Amino acid sequence: MDFELTEEQRAFAQTARDFAQAELAPHAAHWDAEGIFPREAIAKAGELGFCGLYAPENAGGLALPRLDATLVFEEMAAVDPSTTAFITIHNMATWMLGTWAQDAVREHWGPLLTTGEKLASYCLTEPGAGSDAASLKTRAERTAEGYVINGSKAFISGAGATDVLVLMARTGDAASGASGISAFVVPADAPGISYGKKEEKMGWNSQPTRTISFDNVCIPADHLLGREGEGFKIAMKGLDGGRINIATCSVGAAQGALAQAQQYMQDRKQFGKPIASFQALQFKLADMATELVAARQMVRLAASKLDAAAPDASTYCAMAKRFATDAGFTMCNEALQLHGGYGYIREYTLERLLRDARVHQILEGTNEIMRVIIARRMLDGDAPDAIR
């Protein structure tokens, strides 16, 4: 197995690093403190192709492998995990639309989304359907003209500030479970849509989070993604990539935290010498670096599995998400500890990285659900060698 990146991949990563330093680093703390959604910066990311990294070419995307996308997301997340995480969600929704939308819908929305001119939200979670996503209750009733949607969604990133919604809704009866769910493209300003208050959150403050209510929202029939009943499968395919994306954001946050801790240890003096000279702190730094490399390699392995359409890709995506998000939060916390009291104040960025990284252990499937996915694969009678 070749662990080295190609020159093209390195160049892509460098472009993302340069963008992050120029467009995110100077403003990330202000966006966080004021709760500002940086559409202008996201549009600039779109100019570089970062809003359609793995969306298909016929939708205007770059159709890159997921592995290459992780390189971009990691570099940006090292500076601003919150804004980067929204860009990853937008990429996921754009990929879904580009892959399963009917031609007219793809031709209209694809170029707008992949360039970052318009933005997308992904709508799966409901007030009573989080980890048990197959129990969602939002309904889409078929009519002569298309569909009428009623229901609500919760914890939707970008809600109220985006232009299109990729929505999962029930078209079958409640007993149909996952097989009765379908996916739709819904204009975010369609009559009958209303948005709840902007949630006050621990982190991810550069992107708004709101509930969305649907009251007899009418959409044309051609706004169905794929076929009726395929929505849950589409959602799960999206979440495999989404889990890699969020794991990558944790790796990026940890990389940013580690770099700051390394520099701080060289600069900070106690007892007449740099704290980098104390072996106990050297060991802490060494453990952080080791965990970071392990998390990064696990994420890249999972991305490679997904690119290869491996039968165990979902399992590896779950493992990467579980490990990288847990390890990433721990590394941010350890880096803050190395800064002492300075790490706790907003003049330094450690507290923001820590707050932004915490939610990664919850979304795209909690880490407890990741363990369920992994264990089921290992205990499947048809897959005794599931983890090799």
Give pLDDT tens digits for 88-117. Answer: 999 999 999 999 999 999 999 999 999 999
**pLDDT value at 388 more than 80:** no
Q: Which pLDDT score, from 0 to 100, does residue 387 have?
A: 66
Q: Which pLDDT score, from 0 to 100, does residue 134 have?
A: 79
Query: Could you give the count of Cα atoms lying within 13 Å of 325 in the half-sphere of its Cβ?
Result: 30
Q: Which pLDDT score, from 0 to 100, does residue 380 have?
A: 82
pLDDT band at 129 (very low <50, low <70, confident <90, very high): confident
Question: Do the beta carbons of residue 81 and residue 311 sit within 8 Å?
Answer: no
**pLDDT value at 384 more than 60:** no
Average pLDDT of the chain is 95
Residues contacting residue 158 through CB under 8 Å, at least 6 positions apart: 37, 86, 89, 90, 119, 120, 121, 207, 208
**Annotated domain spans of the chain:** 7-114, 120-228, 232-379
Residues contacting residue 293 through CB under 8 Å, at least 6 positions apart: none
Q: Which residues are catalytic?
A: 364
Question: Do the beta carbons of residue 343 and residue 336 sit within 8 Å?
Answer: yes
Greatest Cα-to-Cα distance within the chain, rounded to the nearest angstrom? 80
By the 10 Å C-beta count (0-12 exposed, 13-18 middle, 19+ buried), 333 is classed as middle
When pLDDT is averaged across residues 143-161 and rounded to a whole number, the result is 96
Residue type, 260: Q
By the 10 Å C-beta count (0-12 exposed, 13-18 middle, 19+ buried), 239 is classed as buried
**pLDDT value at 126 more than 70:** yes
Number of Cβ within 10 Å of residue 331's Cβ equals 28
What's the fold here for domain 232-379? Butyryl-CoA Dehydrogenase, subunit A; domain 3 (1.20.140)
**pLDDT value at 382 more than 90:** no
Distance of CA 344 to the CA centre of its chain: 26
The answer, as to whether pTM is greater than 0.85, is yes
pLDDT tens, 179-221? 899 999 999 999 999 999 999 999 999 999 999 999 999 999 9
Assigned superfamily of 7-114: Acyl-CoA dehydrogenase/oxidase, N-terminal domain (1.10.540.10)
Structure tokens belonging to residue 355: 């707050």
When pLDDT is averaged across residues 318-343 and rounded to a whole number, the result is 97
**pLDDT value at 291 more than 80:** yes
The SS3 of residue 99 is helix
pLDDT tens, 44-92? 999 999 999 999 999 999 999 999 999 999 999 999 999 999 999 999 9
Q: Which pLDDT score, from 0 to 100, does residue 33 have?
A: 97
Question: Do the beta carbons of residue 157 and residue 167 sit within 8 Å?
Answer: no
By the 10 Å C-beta count (0-12 exposed, 13-18 middle, 19+ buried), 200 is classed as exposed
Assigned superfamily of 120-228: Butyryl-CoA Dehydrogenase, subunit A, domain 2 (2.40.110.10)
